[in-house]
Structure 1
Amino acid sequence: MVKPQFPTDKNVLMLHGSSDLYGASKIFLESVQALKKVGYEVIVVLSEDGPLVEELKALKAEVHIHKLGILRRKYFSPSGLVNRFKTILKAKSFLETLMSENRITHIYSNTSAVLVGSFLARKKGVKHIWHLHEILLSPGWFVWLMGIIINRYADIVVVVSQAVWDNWKDKVDESKLALLHNGIDYRPYLETKTDIRNEIPNSEGKVLIGMIGRINHWKGQGYFLDIAQSLVQTHENVHFVIVGDAYPGTEHLVTEMEEKVKNSGLQTHVSYLGFRRDIPEILQAFDIFVLPSILPDPFPTVILEAMASGKPVVATAQGGAKEMIVKGETGFLIPWDNAGSASEAISDLVNKKEMREKMGEKGRSRVLEKFSPEAFKKNFQRLFENG
């Protein structure tokens, strides 16, 4: 294969820990598109194949698959950390060759789980931009260590919300922090006129209440089911939808969730759709969108999607959701640990169609005004200037 001759001296190595199409990956796509639009050459390295690869190739980005040593909670053990160290060393060797072949001038690491770019940038003397989508609270030793690494090995630390800024400001020099709210292409959510309601059993004539997100310990699928169990006691006209899959190796979480549905007697009230690409059509079918995270969600992109779809949003009162939702105007904020109280807030929306529609309209206006993709791309491009 003949290597292309780059017409620019701004060549970016972009590293990302997932190949899915959830929030951080969607923002990664927007970031790649933003840089290519202004003439940067982009080389992407992912740890695994997946649906993101197809989307990146559609943008004509060069994509490589190589294990990057992504740091996840399951590696928080002596043997797991040794595994990560060895994998990162191998990744570093691979990336050094890639940098030499492509005259890389910038390294961009998306999410705190991607460590290898930080060490490589320091060794090669190139600018390192680290994009943080996480609020890390525990374990304490890991948060402390990550603060040291990020502060030492990043030139710019991009945070996706004020909540993320507050999480990192005591660990990272504030002069390095840059707040950049996510913004995505809303056209699919604004333009779709179709929905998937006919695919959902037992949903005819019901108010559809749904959530979309990775199935893991903190995204709140279990809490969502607790809320559902509370609501079905007082409402016969509700049906609940869960969309999303688990990380490879954690499929048992799906089994546990399905067992909870069965044990709670919710089989006819809950539909689990798994991983889906047709998110605009799914959101079009929902009447109410819920984000039930039991830990702070930094700046959930799915809220932007739901608002663009004209849906009222109910989310736990923590993390970035507090910056996105105007309480009582575009949705409601609920406690993360009280299903009864949460169901009371949702009950108002179930009972009042006019309220749902009004909140949905205000949410759509807010997302287009405050979280525009144009602003995101323009400000993202500026991060790569002057160095």
Structure 2
Amino acid sequence: MSARLALVDVSSEMSGVEFSTLYLAQNLERTHWSPLVICPGEGELPQLCRQNEIDVLIVPLTRLVATSVRLRGRRIPNPFALAWNALSFAITARRLAPILEREQIRLVVTKGLLAHYYGGLAARWARIPCVWHVQDRVSERAGALFPTLLSIGARVLARRVIADANSIARQLDIAMPRDRVNVVWNGVDTREFSPEMDGTRVRAEWTHAPDALLIGVIARLVAWKGQHVLLKAMVQLGNEFPNARVILVGSALFDTDEYAQSLKTETTRLGLGERVVFAGFRSDMPEALAALDVVAHTALEKDSTPLAVVSAMASGKAIVCSAVDGTAELFEEGVNGLLFPPGDANALVNQLRLVLGDSALRARLGQNAREFAERELSVEQFTRKCESVFERALEN
């Protein structure tokens, strides 16, 4: 008989964590696992789950508030917000715990930072083992405060942790025993994300110039994803590569669009209006990636093994990537991608200059990235490794 497994996701709208939730639920071995996705409201994730015949439950979240405030240009922890959110976690967990019991859940897997706390607390109250799937580094701007809270929370609430990069595992070392942490890189369907995919239709939406060089960023429009760094780089590259265009694929994060508006303002100020396309969220990501010549990943912090990068590698794209701890684990410099220091527009210019000016280099980087993805980043490998962790959690 298959074990009932709850995937508790912090969001109902699609971002990297939510796609990995969907991929995991789709690919679990159904003779062993019966997945139930629990999310806080209606949205793209529950819709896609239902389309794929995956069980879904909606459990609303008690309102949370930002855990930091801006003071004299710096963000500092807000102790009142931390206290309020702790109470909110408890209220949500009290609501969730009897649902887990009613659904006869054998294992809870939490997805997303906030879900680790309220989902882990609910699992503890329901006396059900819990696995945290940690897919983002927490900010270290407040020193070790947030990593310490994460690590202590994991030790108390999680029987095991899946970290999607070694950099996350290191953050958890503060309090979490390393033998309870397993590093599992994200994975995608390497048949769906493939160099064989036809991007002609999508490319025609973005440009009619046959010789255009399309540089894409696949990411939410939030400041730490660093799209503004690419805009600065394009100013320097404009005369050398007049046929280069920037394609920003992604929407604002949930209800926050200040950064998206600032990018549009900056695009106009820099005189890049005709060279930058704000493509928004795309549901046809395999075709969108196929339409690009180069993928730039410009994150400033936090990213580990983001699905945008994994998907681009599987699609055989030449990738120029910021060397954020975690993401850099996927690359061998000059072999399957090019790296640059996070936030360094000049270094990004130098790396883009190499790939934009050399089609053979683009092809070689893309082929090596594809081969790496087939070996290390398939959704089948990702799922089987996660299942192994789940089984060990139940054995304990």
Segments of 5+ residues of structure 2 without an aligned counterpart are 69-76
Correspondence 1:194 to 2:199: yes
Match of 1:102 in 2: 103
Look up the SS of the partner of 2:320 in the other structure: strand
The one-character-per-residue Cα deviations of 1:228-250 (angstroms, maximum 9, x if unpaired) are 22211422121111011112231
Q: CA deviation at 1:155?
A: 0.4
Match of 1:315 in 2: 321
What TM-score comes out, normalization by structure 1 length?
0.92
Q: 1:74 to 1:230 in 2, by over 3 A?
A: farther
Match of 2:142 in 1: 139
Q: CA deviation at 1:60?
A: 2.0
Measure, in 2, the Cα distance between the counterparts of 1:82 and 1:249.
23
Measure, in 2, the Cα distance between the counterparts of 1:109 and 1:166.
19
Look up the SS of the partner of 2:114 in the other structure: coil
Look up the SS of the partner of 2:192 in the other structure: helix
Matched letter for residue 91 of structure 2: K
Look up the SS of the partner of 1:383 in the other structure: helix
Q: 1:332 to 1:69 in 2, by over 3 A?
A: farther
Measure, in 2, the Cα distance between the counterparts of 1:36 and 1:329.
34
Number of residue equivalences = 380
Q: 1:155 to 1:234 in 2, by over 3 A?
A: same
Contact 2:321 2:340 in 1 (8 A): yes
Contact 2:148 2:174 in 1 (8 A): no
Matched letter for residue 114 of structure 2: A
Look up the SS of the partner of 2:109 in the other structure: strand
Residues 83-92 or 357-366, more deviating: 83-92
Matched letter for residue 124 of structure 1: A
Match of 2:340 in 1: 334
Contact 1:206 1:238 in 2 (8 A): yes
Q: CA deviation at 1:36?
A: 5.2
Match of 1:119 in 2: 121
Which residue, 217, 230, 233 being the options, matches 2:236? Answer: 230
Matched letter for residue 317 of structure 2: K
Contact 1:192 1:281 in 2 (8 A): yes
Contact 2:113 2:134 in 1 (8 A): yes
Which residue, 39, 42, 55 being the options, matches 1:62? Answer: 55
Q: CA deviation at 1:70?
A: 8.2
Correspondence 1:37 to 2:41: no
Q: 1:24 to 1:261 in 2, by over 3 A?
A: same
Match of 2:13 in 1: 20
Match of 1:176 in 2: 180
Segments of 5+ residues of structure 1 without an aligned counterpart are 1-6
Match runs of 1:275-354 below 5 Å: 275-354=281-360
Matched letter for residue 383 of structure 2: K
Measure, in 1, the Cα distance between the counterparts of 2:229 and 2:328.
19
Match of 1:267 in 2: 273
Q: 1:223 to 1:93 in 2, by over 3 A?
A: same
The one-character-per-residue Cα deviations of 1:27-49 (angstroms, maximum 9, x if unpaired) are 11122124352332222211232
Which residue, 166, 169, 186 being the options, matches 1:162? Answer: 166
Contact 2:94 2:122 in 1 (8 A): no
Match of 2:42 in 1: 49
Alpha carbon RMSD of aligned pairs, Å?
2.1
The one-character-per-residue Cα deviations of 1:352-380 (angstroms, maximum 9, x if unpaired) are 11111121111111110122222211111
Correspondence 1:372 to 2:374: no
Q: CA deviation at 1:93?
A: 2.9
Which residue, 254, 261, 269 being the options, matches 1:248? Answer: 254
Look up the SS of the partner of 1:277 in the other structure: coil
The one-character-per-residue Cα deviations of 1:41-88 (angstroms, maximum 9, x if unpaired) are 222211232212122113322212222358674676355445534433
Measure, in 2, the Cα distance between the counterparts of 1:246 and 1:346.
25
Measure, in 1, the Cα distance between the counterparts of 2:209 and 2:380.
37
Contact 1:17 1:46 in 2 (8 A): yes
Look up the SS of the partner of 2:98 in the other structure: helix
Measure, in 1, the Cα distance between the counterparts of 2:136 and 2:193.
25
Contact 1:297 1:320 in 2 (8 A): yes
Contact 1:211 1:241 in 2 (8 A): yes
Q: 1:151 to 1:385 in 2, by over 3 A?
A: same
Measure, in 2, the Cα distance between the counterparts of 1:271 and 1:311.
19
The one-character-per-residue Cα deviations of 1:149-195 (angstroms, maximum 9, x if unpaired) are 11111100110011221222233111211111111112222242233
The one-character-per-residue Cα deviations of 1:323-353 (angstroms, maximum 9, x if unpaired) are 2122111220012232122111111111111
What TM-score comes out, normalization by structure 2 length?
0.90
Match of 1:150 in 2: 154
Contact 1:192 1:284 in 2 (8 A): yes
Contact 1:16 1:110 in 2 (8 A): yes
Residues 100-109 or 141-150, more deviating: 141-150
Contact 1:57 1:63 in 2 (8 A): yes
Percentage of identical aligned residues: 23
